């Protein structure tokens, strides 16, 4: 048996006969649930192995995440990728009525006068359809929200907020005959025996075997690889307030932070960003930061007793997994190599056979994961991807190693 590091290398595409089609997916958050569903839709047999008691208890466990695209005046690749992902997510949500989501629209309030001018110019120049994005003057935005605001805003009428756990559950339940989930099972080691991968638990007992493995376990993926992928952790805390503590708001409001409309009697707001910090305890200092971001969103809301009071609010901490260029890592995992290779390309890079990444979803996983999973399912099933080549290369799991090899 060989480890994930020493497995024979391949092209990154599966050489397994197509009739086999088995995959082990490690992690049942947004990444794992989306890829399990996309592969099952193609007739694959899937085993999802998750260390927690249920789906979506890690980064994907916040009660409400924001559904909106990123926009950039130059419409650079990250913005185009975000647009493709957002459009695909909206299309998928129409097929998943069990997912709890509200298309209440998202208002992204400008941070200052310069940002407001940039927002306006971006909408004018990109000429995106008004059901995708509009620029609202401060007066129009205030009229919509019914509250005083600091500046004008981008308005995403089709956006909203979504409960990620219900999305993960709906995806995992869609093909019940072919997607099997094992919870309370942490994979601590992988081995490869020429045709199949086997996952082992902490007692070194095999827990699952398959021709293909997708690492969908966020930053913990590096525990299973000899050559670490360039993944970093960003701690994020959100807090909750009883809905009657704030004026009622019908849209998601974003600025430097965000505020969701009320659900189950509470609003969510946040979030903090703390690099390289894996502690998951709630912190008063991050609660204060979240309240200050909330105050910037609703300048006239009476938050002083929460900001200056000593009462801890309810909240939740989770860890985002990011990459140095803030795009995800999707595709065949590169084989361990120490040699420099000035002619290395993403196409000729050696990959571990049948071992794939769906990682680095950062603070965008709700929006990115569905299309990232569809792209990965196409790679694994030897189909053309819906993504153009520049986007596929920009998110490829081998891109950082290619740069490193070329530098020598
Ligand atoms: C505070 C905060 C706010 C956010 N807001 C938004 C937002 O508004 N919009 C948006 O689009 N995105 C948002 N995100 C990002 C989004 O939530 C993440 O990108 C997404 O949840 C990542 O999903 P994942 O499946 O990669 O990771 P996770 O959900 O963390 O899933 C990984 C899973 O792998 C399991 N696991 C780990 N190791 C093992 C192992 N060895 N064996 C078995 N199982 C294992 C874990 O238990 C976990 O369930 C936010 C994130 C945070 C933290």
Q: What fold characterizes domain 103-161+232-322?
A: D-Amino Acid Oxidase; Chain A, domain 2 (3.30.9)
254 lines ligand 1 (CB under 6 A): no
Over residues 153-175, the mean pLDDT reads 98
Confidence at residue 306, expressed as pLDDT on a 0 to 100 scale? 74
Name the closest-CA residue to atom 12, ligand 1. Answer: 364
Measured between alpha carbons, how far is 78 from 265 in angstroms, rounded to an integer? Answer: 36
Please provide the DSSP assignment of 5-71 as one string. Answer: TTSPPB-SS--S-TTT-EEEEE--SHHHHHHHHHHHTTT-EEEEE-SSSSSS-SGGG-S-EEE----
Instruction: Enumerate the domain spans of the chain.
Output: 2-59+166-231+324-407, 103-161+232-322
Nearest to 44 by CA among 14, 74, 22, 75: 22
182 three-state secondary structure: strand
Give yes or no for residue 1 having a pLDDT over 50: no
Over residues 243-265, the mean pLDDT reads 95
Residue pLDDT, tens place only, 306-329: 776 768 999 999 999 999 999 999
**Identical fold at 2-59+166-231+324-407 and 103-161+232-322?**
no
**One CATH from 2.40.70.10, 3.40.50.720, 3.40.50.150, 3.50.50.60 for 2-59+166-231+324-407:** 3.50.50.60
Over residues 83-110, the mean pLDDT reads 97
Q: Among the atoms of ligand 1, which is closest to the Cα of residue 362? A: 19
Residue pLDDT, tens place only, 32-58: 999 999 999 999 999 999 999 999 999
Residues 6+ apart with CB under 8 A from 33: 48, 55, 56, 60, 167, 168, 169, 171, 172
Give yes or no for residue 96 having a pLDDT over 50: yes
Q: How far is the CA of 121 from the centre of ligand 1 (A)?
A: 34
Residue pLDDT, tens place only, 359-394: 999 999 999 999 999 999 999 999 999 999 999 999
Give the model's confidence band at 18: pLDDT under 50 very low, under 70 low, under 90 confident, else very high. Answer: low
Name the closest-CA residue to atom 16, ligand 1. Answer: 365
144 lines ligand 1 (CB under 6 A): no
Instruction: Show the tokens assigned to 11.
Output: 């092209």
């Amino acid at each position: 048996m060989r480890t994930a590091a020493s497995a024979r290398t391949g092209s990154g595409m599966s050489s397994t006969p197509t009739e086999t089609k088995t995959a082990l997916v490690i992690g049942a958050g947004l990444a794992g649930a989306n890829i399990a569903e996309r592969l099952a839709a193609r007739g694959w047999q899937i085993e999802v192995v998750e260390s927690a008691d249920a789906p979506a208890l890690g980064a994907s466990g916040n009660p409400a995440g924001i559904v909106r695209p990123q926009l950039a005046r130059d419409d650079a690749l990250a913005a185009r990728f975000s647009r493709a992902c957002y459009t695909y997510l909206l299309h998928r949500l129409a097929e998943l009525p069990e997912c709890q989501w509200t298309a209440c629209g998202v208002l992204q309030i400008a941070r200052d006068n310069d940002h407001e001018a940039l927002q306006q110019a971006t909408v004018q120049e990109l000429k995106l359809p008004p059901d995708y994005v509009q620029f609202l003057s401060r007066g129009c935005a205030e009229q919509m929200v019914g509250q005083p605001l600091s500046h004008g805003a981008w308005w995403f009428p089709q956006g909203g907020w979504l409960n990620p756990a219900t999305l993960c559950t709906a995806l995992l339940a869609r093909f019940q005959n072919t997607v099997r989930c094992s919870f309370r099972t942490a994979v601590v080691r992988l081995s490869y025996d020429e045709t199949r991968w086997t996952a082992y638990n902490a007692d070194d007992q095999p827990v699952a075997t398959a021709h293909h493995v997708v690492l969908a376990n966020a930053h913990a993926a590096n525990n299973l690889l000899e050559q670490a992928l360039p993944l970093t952790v960003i701690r994020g805390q959100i807090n909750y307030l009883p809905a009657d503590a704030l004026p009622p708001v019908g849209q998601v409001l974003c600025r430097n932070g965000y505020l969701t409309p009320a659900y189950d009697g509470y609003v969510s707001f946040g979030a903090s960003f703390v690099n390289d910090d894996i502690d998951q305890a709630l912190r008063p200092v991050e609660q204060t930061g979240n309240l200050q971001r909330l105050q910037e969103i609703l300048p006239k809301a009476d938050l002083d007793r929460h900001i200056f009071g000593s009462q801890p609010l309810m909240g939740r901490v989770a860890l985002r997994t990011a990459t140095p260029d803030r795009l995800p890592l999707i595709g065949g995992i590169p084989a361990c190599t120490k040699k420099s290779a000035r002619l290395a390309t993403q196409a000729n890079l050696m990959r571990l056979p049948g071992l794939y990444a769906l990682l680095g979803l950062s603070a965008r996983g709700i929006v990115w994961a569905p299309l990232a999973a569809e792209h990965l399912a196409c790679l694994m099933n030897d189909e053309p991807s819906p993504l153009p080549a520049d986007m596929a290369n920009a998110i490829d799991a081998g891109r950082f190693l290619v740069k490193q090899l070329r530098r020598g």
